[in-house]
Chain A
Amino acid sequence: MPQNSGATGVTAEEIRTRVRELAAAHDPATTDHVEFLGHRFDAGLAWVHFPVGCGGLGAPRALQQVAEQELAAAGAKPANVYRNPIGLGMGAPTVAVHGTEEQRSRLLRPLWTGEEVWCQLFSEPGAGSDLAGLATRAVRDGDDWIVNGQKVWTSFAHKARWAMLLARTDPDLPKHQGLTYFFLDMSLPGVEVRPLRQATGQAEFNEVFLTDVRIPDSMRADEVGKGWTVSNTTLMNERVAIGGGASPREGGVISPVAALWRSRPEVRTPALHDQVMKAWVEAEVARLANARIGQQLAAGKPGPEGSAAKISFARINQETTRLWLELSGEDGLTYDDWTMRRVDLGGSDGGRSAGYYYLRAKGNSIEGGTTEILRGVIADRVLELPREPRTDTKLPWKEIPR
């Protein structure tokens, strides 16, 4: 993250002063939330570690915690993560690191306030785990790029004004070198969004079809052929820790299992008790592990434990929802509703039947990097184990079998 642009040596005291000034000028209790967030951005208190003018102060990342605490104490609501999680978590750092001055000033403020929602156009039907093999083409035409292709598993595409788009600009180069990254205006002609129905019956995601979409070259992120580097900035950014503390004990999917166990003594057997306690232990351990990750981040020492947390989150959800169905007896055979409904990622899906959560958990080990890919990430980046031999990295992309 760049920490250039002006202010250096920002202190916690200066952050506190700025928060006090902000709250004095714009009373959080009476100011509209979006409007307040805008003022907060202008005060450099959106992401304090971002450069001045980008919603930040060029301060150390650890001071974000100070800003959040002071703002909460002043009665200010945090940014609405659920409204724009992709933008806040991944879009913003990508724009800040790789965007031009023009892109930063156009994109960051409405991203932060949630007035403009973001999505991510990376995965394709033929490029899931092997993202760098993607086939969506962008061809230069004067001051524009003409884009054709199909993207999939796109959360928020139906709400988004902007997308992070990774496209192939040179099929004659090896796969990682022929990619270029764009900020795509989703309102452009040729962008078509269709809901993607999943095993649960509902549609949280979308397919996005791009047909002769004309993107101005001014919306290219970084240099032509640098798309892979830029996309790694996007993917390496954990969700920005904004507000909130650790989840409470029994806060996740263990909650209905524990409630069922407590309320229905007739289902209790010694063997199931050990399974329930295993699930409880896993849930509590994961809660503590996540808390520790949060503490590392707050201390300005982010570690690679996020990949591990995602692996265990998926496994725990899957095992615990399976146990929930087993404990449910006859109820386990029923399902509340197969009607296709659009539900936004991160939105509430409370009150569904156990079968729904069992099925939804299947996606947890696939979405956002499969468990297998994450194990590879840990093996490569943490343990620094030797890589598997590969045949696809040096060939021109167009010659790779697919």
Chain B
Amino acid sequence: MTDIPSLLYTDVEDDLRATLRGLLADRCPWSDVLARVDTDEPYDESLWKSVAEDLGLAGLLIPESLGGAGATAREAAVTLEELARAVAPIPYYPSAILATTALTASPASEARDNALPALAAGTAIATLTIPATTAPGAEFPASITGSLDANGQLHLTGAATTVLAADRADLLVVPVLIDGEPHLALVDATAPGLTRTRATTLDATRPVGTITLDGVPATAIADPTQAPAALAHALVTGAALLASEQLGVAERSLEETVTYLKTRHQFGRPIGSYQALRHRAADLWADIAAARATARYAAAALAEGSDDAPIAASLAQAYCSDVAVHAAEECVQMHGGIGFTWEHPAHLYLKRAMSLSLLQGTPTHHRAALGGLVNLPSA
């Protein structure tokens, strides 16, 4: 265990936050997010263009040599905080985090090095073709298999459920077994034999769906010596950075709650003057302060390439998941009746927080996993 890295925000990170928050305040008010739920267009394509292309944030984790910003997980974490605060309906996490880190952890190849610049530019969106609940340390997925035809072309067959942005991705990074051996393959989502569906999701701002492959042509990008580590890297990165989404949604929930506690009057007093509510709001603030340190540590551990990253990721998920859900639940409860209506944003935060706690491993799963990582074995 080395020294604890800086858990503060750098000036660069503060600037990034301010820019993105300004954009989201202007372009992604909760009322727009809510209105979109009743449409058949779950993604805000225009907002994606601004975040990815205009601000260049889709390529934060992509090296400059491949068209990206060459930034670190710390900046990506701040981006996720802000996107979650706004419950922004764009596939940033599956594309710019999960699929991107699976690709950057794969060896250089023509297919990979054509894909990454497009992802960095935001002109293509990718996803990692695994169930969104897959936790770090999970066994390599076996639901998709590949085989070579007479011409040596790889074809994939199988299916993956609850894939993030399944219906929107242009490129799929697919964990696949070829002759029983783990590989990663890159698939063009418009290729013949590929079908996809969109599920109706608990968090309508973050769709998942099923991807079915029937002999779909693909390009192998990581072999059995590379694929398990690349997938593991993507999953640890994903779990670690989701903590920053959880931090963002928890902060937003508390802010909305505090604003309401100051303005809503009952029994002739602002309800925020009642100790029963003041203390609960204070507890949330305390938990969020701790969650911030934990989420920052996870991001910093990734940025430094620390050996402690898997522990930091599971720790962050074990803690920040529950803080976000609790904050969003308290947001509903302390708003009383209005907090339970469709017309109020509290349910947007609640659905985001609850579905976040299921992504890449539940808090209970991560506690159990930590036991293995820190030599506290289960029964």
Contact = CB atoms under 8 A, between A and B. Distances in A.
B318 A277 contact: yes
Interface of B: 1, 3-4, 6-8, 258, 261-262, 269-270, 272-275, 278-279, 281-283, 285-286, 289-294, 296-297, 315, 318-319, 364, 367-368, 370-371, 374-379
A382 B370 CA distance: 33
A288 B7 contact: yes
B8 A292 contact: yes
A388 B271 CA distance: 10
Given A285-B315, A383-B258, A385-B261, A376 B282 contact: yes
A224 interface: no
A379 B281 contact: yes
A268 B272 contact: no
Contacts of B7: 288, 291-292, 295
B315 A375 contact: no
B301 to A, nearest CB: 11
A262 B286 contact: no
B367 to A, nearest CB: 4
Nearest to A382: B285
Nearest to A380: B278
Contacts of B291: 285
A127 to B, nearest CB: 20
A273 B274 CA distance: 38
Contacts of B293: 285, 288-289, 291-292
A275 to B, nearest CB: 10
A156 to B, nearest CB: 29
A31 B262 CA distance: 59
Contact of A385 (B4, B6, B278, B297): B278
B371 A292 contact: no
A378 B285 contact: yes
B368 A308 contact: no
Nearest to A308: B286
A273 B368 contact: yes
B289 A308 contact: yes
Nearest to B370: A277
Interface stretch (A46-54, A103-111, A139-147, A241-249): A241-249
Contacts of B378: 268, 270, 273
Contacts of A262: 375-376
The 4 closest A-B pairs by CB, nearest first: A308-B286, A277-B367, A378-B282, A379-B278
A281 B275 CA distance: 29
A311 B286 contact: yes
A26 B278 CA distance: 54
A376 B285 CA distance: 12
A269 interface: yes
B217 to A, nearest CB: 45
A296 interface: yes
B3 A245 contact: yes
B275 A285 contact: no
A386 interface: yes
A272 interface: yes
A273 B370 CA distance: 11
A388 B285 contact: no
Contacts of B375: 262
A300 B364 CA distance: 38
B282 A379 contact: yes
B319 A285 contact: yes
B319 A281 contact: yes
B161 to A, nearest CB: 27
**Which of B3, B261, B377, B379 lies at the interface centre, i.e. has the most chain A CB atoms within 10 A of its CB?**
B379
> Binding site of A, secondary structure by majority: helix, strand, loop or mixed?
helix
B261 A273 contact: no
B376 A277 contact: yes
B249 to A, nearest CB: 18
B297 to A, nearest CB: 5
A163 B281 CA distance: 36
A292 B292 contact: yes
A273 B369 CA distance: 11
Given A248-B1, A289-B293, A383-B282, A274 B364 contact: yes
Nearest to A303: B289
22 contacts: A265-B377, A268-B378, A270-B378, A273-B376, A274-B367, A277-B367, A281-B315, A281-B370, A284-B315, A285-B294, A288-B290, A288-B296, A289-B293, A308-B290, A312-B286, A374-B282, A375-B278, A375-B279, A382-B282, A383-B285, A385-B272, A385-B273
Contacts of A388: 273-275, 278
Contacts of B261: 385-386
B297 A288 contact: yes
A308 B319 CA distance: 16
A274 B377 CA distance: 11
A295 B290 contact: no
**Which of A309, A384, A385 lies at the interface centre, i.e. has the most chain B CB atoms within 10 A of its CB?**
A385
A389 interface: yes
A389 B269 contact: yes
Interface string A126-148: 00000000000000000000000
Given A248-B1, A273-B379, A299-B8, A385 B368 contact: no
Contacts of A394: none
A289 B290 contact: yes
A336 to B, nearest CB: 26
Interface in A339-392: 372, 374-376, 378-379, 382-389
A274 B368 contact: yes
Nearest to B6: A295
Interface string A231-267: 0000000000000011011000000001001100100
A278 interface: yes
A268 B3 CA distance: 32
B272 A285 contact: no
Contacts of A265: 377
A280 interface: yes
A385 B318 CA distance: 30
Nearest to B378: A273
A215 to B, nearest CB: 38
A387 B283 contact: no
Given A289-B290, A375-B279, A280 B285 contact: no
B282 A281 contact: no
Nearest to A257: B376
A62 interface: no
A285 B290 contact: yes
A286 interface: yes
A399 interface: no
A276 interface: yes
Contacts of A384: 262
A305 interface: yes
Contact of B285 (A248, A274, A277, A308): A308
A387 B271 CA distance: 10
B211 to A, nearest CB: 34
A151 B204 CA distance: 60
A385 B364 contact: no
Given A276-B371, A277-B367, A311-B283, 8 more contacts: A249-B1, A270-B379, A276-B376, A285-B290, A288-B290, A289-B293, A311-B286, A375-B283
